[in-house]
Protein backbone atom coordinates (compact mmCIF):
# COMPACT_ATOMS: atom_id res chain seq x y z
CA UNK A 1 0.00 0.00 0.00
CA UNK A 2 1.47 3.36 -0.99
CA UNK A 3 1.46 6.15 1.52
CA UNK A 4 -0.80 9.03 0.55
CA UNK A 5 0.74 11.67 -1.69
CA UNK A 6 2.39 14.70 -0.18
CA UNK A 7 1.60 18.19 -1.44
CA UNK A 8 4.44 19.77 -3.38
CA UNK A 9 5.89 16.41 -4.41
CA UNK A 10 5.69 14.72 -7.78
CA UNK A 11 6.15 10.96 -7.67
CA UNK A 12 8.87 9.83 -10.09
CA UNK A 13 9.41 6.21 -9.04
CA UNK A 14 6.69 4.17 -7.42
CA UNK A 15 7.25 1.84 -4.49
CA UNK A 16 6.58 -1.26 -6.60
CA UNK A 17 9.12 -0.17 -9.25
CA UNK A 18 11.74 0.33 -6.55
CA UNK A 19 11.04 -3.09 -5.10
CA UNK A 20 11.37 -4.78 -8.51
CA UNK A 21 14.55 -2.91 -9.33
CA UNK A 22 16.17 -3.65 -5.98
CA UNK A 23 15.43 -7.34 -6.55
CA UNK A 24 17.05 -7.16 -10.02
CA UNK A 25 20.12 -5.47 -8.58
CA UNK A 26 20.34 -8.16 -5.91
CA UNK A 27 20.28 -10.91 -8.57
CA UNK A 28 23.16 -9.22 -10.42
CA UNK A 29 25.19 -8.81 -7.25
CA UNK A 30 24.56 -12.47 -6.36
CA UNK A 31 25.81 -13.53 -9.77
CA UNK A 32 28.90 -11.32 -9.49
CA UNK A 33 29.79 -12.30 -5.91
CA UNK A 34 28.92 -15.99 -5.93
CA UNK A 35 31.32 -17.87 -3.66
CA UNK A 36 32.35 -14.69 -1.87
CA UNK A 37 31.10 -12.85 1.22
CA UNK A 38 30.64 -9.21 0.27
CA UNK A 39 30.80 -6.48 2.91
CA UNK A 40 28.11 -3.85 2.37
CA UNK A 41 29.01 -0.35 3.53
CA UNK A 42 26.05 2.02 3.62
CA UNK A 43 26.59 5.78 3.48
CA UNK A 44 24.37 7.33 6.15
CA UNK A 45 21.80 8.61 6.36
CA UNK A 46 20.50 8.60 2.82
CA UNK A 47 21.37 5.00 1.94
CA UNK A 48 19.90 3.46 5.10
CA UNK A 49 16.56 2.43 3.55
CA UNK A 50 18.01 1.18 0.27
CA UNK A 51 20.79 -0.68 2.10
CA UNK A 52 18.27 -2.40 4.39
CA UNK A 53 16.07 -3.52 1.49
CA UNK A 54 19.00 -4.57 -0.70
CA UNK A 55 20.68 -6.81 1.87
CA UNK A 56 17.35 -8.48 2.65
CA UNK A 57 16.96 -9.35 -1.04
CA UNK A 58 20.37 -11.03 -1.12
CA UNK A 59 20.81 -14.72 -0.47
CA UNK A 60 24.61 -14.47 -0.22
CA UNK A 61 26.38 -14.65 3.12
CA UNK A 62 27.34 -11.04 3.80
CA UNK A 63 28.39 -8.53 6.44
CA UNK A 64 27.58 -4.85 6.74
CA UNK A 65 28.80 -1.59 8.17
CA UNK A 66 28.04 2.12 7.87
CA UNK A 67 29.88 5.38 7.56
CA UNK A 68 28.85 8.98 7.35
CA UNK A 69 30.39 11.96 5.61
CA UNK A 70 29.39 15.60 5.41
CA UNK A 71 30.44 18.69 3.60
CA UNK A 72 31.81 21.18 6.06
CA UNK A 73 30.21 24.60 5.85
CA UNK A 74 29.25 24.11 2.23
CA UNK A 75 25.84 24.90 0.82
CA UNK A 76 26.09 22.75 -2.29
CA UNK A 77 27.48 19.25 -2.64
CA UNK A 78 30.13 20.29 -5.13
CA UNK A 79 31.96 22.84 -2.97
CA UNK A 80 33.89 22.67 0.28
CA UNK A 81 35.84 19.77 1.75
CA UNK A 82 34.20 16.56 2.84
CA UNK A 83 34.75 15.24 6.33
CA UNK A 84 34.25 11.79 7.73
CA UNK A 85 31.61 12.06 10.49
CA UNK A 86 31.36 8.40 11.33
CA UNK A 87 34.11 5.96 10.52
CA UNK A 88 33.69 2.27 9.78
CA UNK A 89 33.57 -0.03 12.78
CA UNK A 90 35.08 -3.02 11.00
CA UNK A 91 38.42 -3.51 9.32
CA UNK A 92 37.91 -3.87 5.55
CA UNK A 93 41.33 -5.25 4.67
CA UNK A 94 40.93 -8.23 2.37
CA UNK A 95 37.15 -7.80 2.13
CA UNK A 96 35.03 -7.44 -0.97
CA UNK A 97 33.47 -4.09 -0.20
CA UNK A 98 30.33 -2.79 -1.87
CA UNK A 99 29.70 0.84 -1.07
CA UNK A 100 25.97 1.58 -0.98
CA UNK A 101 24.87 5.14 -1.80
CA UNK A 102 21.43 6.68 -2.07
CA UNK A 103 22.32 8.89 -5.03
CA UNK A 104 25.39 9.85 -7.01
CA UNK A 105 24.88 13.48 -7.91
CA UNK A 106 28.05 15.52 -8.55
CA UNK A 107 29.98 12.37 -7.65
CA UNK A 108 31.98 14.20 -5.03
CA UNK A 109 31.08 11.91 -2.13
CA UNK A 110 31.76 8.73 -4.09
CA UNK A 111 35.01 10.12 -5.51
CA UNK A 112 36.15 11.08 -1.99
CA UNK A 113 35.36 7.60 -0.63
CA UNK A 114 37.04 5.90 -3.57
CA UNK A 115 40.23 7.79 -2.83
CA UNK A 116 40.12 7.05 0.87
CA UNK A 117 38.77 3.48 1.21
CA UNK A 118 41.47 1.81 -0.94
CA UNK A 119 44.05 2.89 1.66
CA UNK A 120 42.48 0.29 3.95
CA UNK A 121 43.28 -2.40 1.42
CA UNK A 122 39.95 -4.03 0.61
CA UNK A 123 40.23 -7.04 -1.74
CA UNK A 124 37.85 -5.20 -4.07
CA UNK A 125 35.65 -2.11 -4.00
CA UNK A 126 32.50 -1.41 -5.96
CA UNK A 127 29.83 1.26 -5.87
CA UNK A 128 26.12 0.50 -5.78
CA UNK A 129 23.75 3.47 -5.99
CA UNK A 130 19.98 3.47 -6.03
CA UNK A 131 19.90 6.68 -8.05
CA UNK A 132 22.25 8.52 -10.36
CA UNK A 133 22.04 12.00 -11.87
CA UNK A 134 24.52 11.61 -14.75
CA UNK A 135 23.88 15.14 -16.03
CA UNK A 136 25.26 16.59 -12.77
CA UNK A 137 28.55 14.68 -12.67
CA UNK A 138 31.62 16.80 -11.87
CA UNK A 139 33.83 14.22 -10.18
CA UNK A 140 34.97 10.84 -11.46
CA UNK A 141 32.43 8.43 -9.98
CA UNK A 142 31.11 5.49 -11.90
CA UNK A 143 28.60 3.33 -10.02
CA UNK A 144 28.96 -0.38 -10.84
CA UNK A 145 25.29 -0.94 -10.01
CA UNK A 146 22.63 1.74 -10.54
CA UNK A 147 18.93 1.47 -9.79
CA UNK A 148 17.61 4.42 -11.79
CA UNK A 149 18.98 7.42 -13.62
CA UNK A 150 17.03 10.51 -12.57
CA UNK A 151 16.81 13.95 -14.17
CA UNK A 152 18.46 17.03 -12.68
CA UNK A 153 15.79 17.63 -10.07
CA UNK A 154 15.91 17.49 -6.30
CA UNK A 155 14.44 14.17 -5.23
CA UNK A 156 13.26 12.86 -1.86
CA UNK A 157 11.91 9.67 -0.35
CA UNK A 158 13.21 6.15 0.23
CA UNK A 159 16.00 7.53 2.41
CA UNK A 160 16.59 10.83 0.61
CA UNK A 161 15.72 13.99 2.44
CA UNK A 162 14.89 17.63 2.08
CA UNK A 163 15.90 19.33 5.36
CA UNK A 164 15.87 15.86 6.97
CA UNK A 165 12.23 15.29 5.99
CA UNK A 166 10.62 12.76 3.64
CA UNK A 167 13.15 9.97 4.20
CA UNK A 168 10.34 7.60 5.17
CA UNK A 169 8.34 7.94 1.97
CA UNK A 170 8.27 4.53 0.22
CA UNK A 171 8.55 6.14 -3.23
CA UNK A 172 10.92 8.60 -4.90
CA UNK A 173 9.48 12.03 -5.61
CA UNK A 174 10.75 15.34 -6.95
CA UNK A 175 10.10 18.64 -5.25
CA UNK A 176 7.82 20.69 -7.48
CA UNK A 177 9.33 23.81 -8.99
CA UNK A 178 7.54 26.10 -6.53
CA UNK A 179 8.98 24.21 -3.54
CA UNK A 180 12.36 23.85 -5.20
CA UNK A 181 12.77 27.52 -6.15
CA UNK A 182 14.61 28.47 -2.98
CA UNK A 183 16.88 25.42 -3.05
CA UNK A 184 19.62 27.35 -4.84
CA UNK A 185 20.38 29.02 -1.54
CA UNK A 186 19.56 26.23 0.82
CA UNK A 187 22.09 24.02 2.55
CA UNK A 188 20.29 20.84 1.62
CA UNK A 189 22.65 19.11 -0.76
CA UNK A 190 24.94 17.86 1.96
CA UNK A 191 25.40 14.10 2.06
P1 LIG B 1 27.30 14.07 -4.53
O2 LIG B 1 28.46 14.06 -3.59
O3 LIG B 1 27.12 15.42 -5.17
O4 LIG B 1 27.33 12.96 -5.54
O5 LIG B 1 25.99 13.84 -3.69
C6 LIG B 1 26.15 13.50 -2.37
C7 LIG B 1 24.91 13.49 -1.53
O8 LIG B 1 24.09 14.63 -1.75
C9 LIG B 1 24.03 12.28 -1.77
O10 LIG B 1 24.52 11.13 -1.11
C11 LIG B 1 22.76 12.80 -1.14
O12 LIG B 1 22.77 12.60 0.26
C13 LIG B 1 22.77 14.28 -1.46
N14 LIG B 1 21.93 14.56 -2.64
C15 LIG B 1 22.33 14.79 -3.90
N16 LIG B 1 21.27 15.00 -4.71
C17 LIG B 1 20.17 14.87 -3.92
C18 LIG B 1 18.76 14.95 -4.17
O19 LIG B 1 18.26 15.18 -5.28
N20 LIG B 1 17.97 14.75 -3.09
C21 LIG B 1 18.43 14.49 -1.84
N22 LIG B 1 19.73 14.40 -1.56
C23 LIG B 1 20.59 14.58 -2.59
MG1 LIG C 1 21.50 13.64 2.13
pLDDT score, position 175: 92
Pocket test for ligand 1, best of 81, 105, 139, 186 (most atoms within 8 A of CB): 105
Q: In this structure, are residues 97 and 39 in contact, taking their beta carbons and an 8 Å threshold?
A: yes
For residue 164, the ligand closest to its alpha carbon is 2
Which of the following is catalytic: 85, 91, 105, 149? 105
pTM for this prediction? 0.90
Q: Which atom of ligand 1 is nearest to the CA of 133?
A: 16
Residue 75 has pLDDT above 50, yes or no: no
pLDDT score, position 6: 82
pLDDT score, position 46: 97
Distance 160 CA to ligand 2 centre (A): 6
Residue 176 has pLDDT above 90, yes or no: no
105 classed as catalytic: yes
Query: Is 109 touching ligand 1 by the criterion CB < 6 Å?
Result: yes
pLDDT in tens, 95-110: 999 999 999 999 999 9
The domain at 4-72+82-183 falls in which architecture?
Answer: 3-Layer(aba) Sandwich (3.40)
Nearest CA to ligand 1 atom 12: 191
pLDDT in tens, 16-55: 999 999 999 999 999 999 999 999 999 999 999 999 999 9
Distance 108 CA to ligand 2 centre (A): 13
- Phi/psi for 35 (5° steps) reads 85, -5
pLDDT in tens, 126-168: 999 999 999 999 999 999 999 999 999 999 999 999 999 999 9
pLDDT score, position 147: 98
Distance 140 CA to ligand 1 centre (A): 15
Q: Where are the domains of the chain?
A: 4-72+82-183
Spatial distance between the Cα atoms of 78 and 152, rounded to a whole number of angstroms: 14
Query: Minimal CA–CA distance to 130: which of 171, 97, 165, 92?
Result: 171
Q: In this structure, are residues 189 and 75 in contact, taking their beta carbons and an 8 Å threshold?
A: yes
Give the model's confidence band at 185: pLDDT under 50 very low, under 70 low, under 90 confident, else very high. Answer: very low
Query: Is 130 touching ligand 1 by the criterion CB < 6 Å?
Result: no
Query: To the nearest whole number, what is the mean pLDDT of the chain?
Result: 90
Q: Between 185 and 22, name the one with better pLDDT.
A: 22
Amino acid sequence: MSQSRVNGLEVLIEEVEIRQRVAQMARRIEADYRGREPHFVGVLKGAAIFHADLVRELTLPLTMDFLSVSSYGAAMASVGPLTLDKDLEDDIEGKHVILVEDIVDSGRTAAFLFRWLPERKPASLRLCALLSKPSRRQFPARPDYVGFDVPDRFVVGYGLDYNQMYRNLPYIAALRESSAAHLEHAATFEP
